[in-house]
């Protein structure tokens, strides 16, 4: 039985979410503050988090930042704020979905199920137990050990950092990373150096692996936030 953590300070909403999730076969724990949610994540294993943005002690964005420092499980943000900037901020910080209140409990359960299935597929395909394997997404094939890349069966030659950057995004598929973080994670250097080199490398990779670089199907741009590998 998969366990879901609900971080929501409105008890009537949290109770309704819990009831529907439990009827669908999930185990549910509810907390009403960000600090209590972070504490629960350190003490217990959860399959997914449903996180409200407006919380009494810290906002959901700050909770999400801290969750992403310690865990890669799916996080669904819920909020009464429908403005696009809130959605961009949430998805840019690593949320897997953004659901605007009010929403039906049936929709919530459906989204929970869909994200859990997607997460399981991603673990199987990109999980840490597959370091020596080949990764294939649509027409793109990456041979990690051999450091080779193929598009529709034809090998493309990637420079060292181009390959490293592509592989990093691929192994963290659907996660959004800013240029500064990518520079630090892939180049191993402080982002104060020249994170603009990430933009240049992304453009070069797209030229080599995308059928139409201006309309990428693999490496997408999340405006105002960064880049993500699209699965």
Which residues, including other chains, have CB under 8 Å from residue 231's CB and lie 6 or more apart?
118, 122, 137, 173, 174
Q: Do domains 3-126 and 134-229 have the same CATH topology?
A: no
Segment among 86-90, 168-172, 194-198 with least mean pLDDT: 194-198
Segment among 45-49, 164-168, 223-227 with least mean pLDDT: 223-227
Angle between helices 196-209 and 160-171 (to 10 degrees): 90
pLDDT tens digits for range 123-163? 666 555 445 578 889 999 999 888 899 999 999 998 888 99
Q: How many C-beta neighbours within 10 Å does residue 227 have?
A: 22
The full set of domain ranges for the chain reads: 3-126, 134-229
Which CATH class name applies to 134-229?
A: mainly alpha
Whether CATH 3.40.50.2300 fits 3-126? yes
pLDDT at 191: 43
Say what percent of the chain tops pLDDT 70: 92
What pTM was computed for the model?
A: 0.63
pLDDT at 125: 61
pLDDT tens digits for range 169-180? 998 888 889 888
Q: Please give the residue that has the higher pLDDT: either 39 or 144.
A: 39
pLDDT at 129: 47
């Amino acid at each position: 039985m998969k366990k879901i953590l609900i971080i929501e300070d409105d008890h009537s909403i949290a109770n309704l979410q819990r009831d529907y999730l439990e009827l669908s076969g999930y185990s549910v724990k509810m907390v009403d503050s960000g600090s209590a949610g972070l504490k629960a994540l350190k003490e217990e294993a959860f399959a997914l988090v449903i996180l409200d943005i407006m919380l009494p002690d810290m906002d959901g964005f700050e909770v999400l930042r801290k969750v992403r420092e310690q865990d890669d499980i799916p996080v669904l943000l819920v909020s009464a704020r429908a403005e696009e900037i809130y959605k961009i901020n949430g998805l840019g910080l690593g949320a897997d979905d953004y659901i605007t209140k009010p929403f039906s409990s049936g929709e919530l359960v459906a989204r929970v199920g869909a994200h859990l299935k997607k997460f399981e597929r991603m673990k199987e395909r990109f999980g840490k137990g597959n370091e020596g394997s080949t990764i294939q997404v649509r027409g793109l094939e990456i041979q990690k050990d051999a450091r080779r890349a193929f598009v529709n069966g034809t090998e493309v030659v990637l420079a060292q950092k181009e390959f490293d950057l592509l592989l990093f995004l691929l192994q963290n598929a659907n996660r959004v990373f800013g240029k500064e973080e990518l520079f630090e994670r892939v180049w191993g250097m402080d982002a104060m150096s020249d994170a603009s080199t990430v933009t240049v490398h992304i453009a070069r990779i797209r030229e080599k692996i995308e059928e139409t670089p201006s309309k990428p199907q693999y490496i997408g741009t999340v405006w105002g936030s960064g880049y993500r590998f699209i699965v």
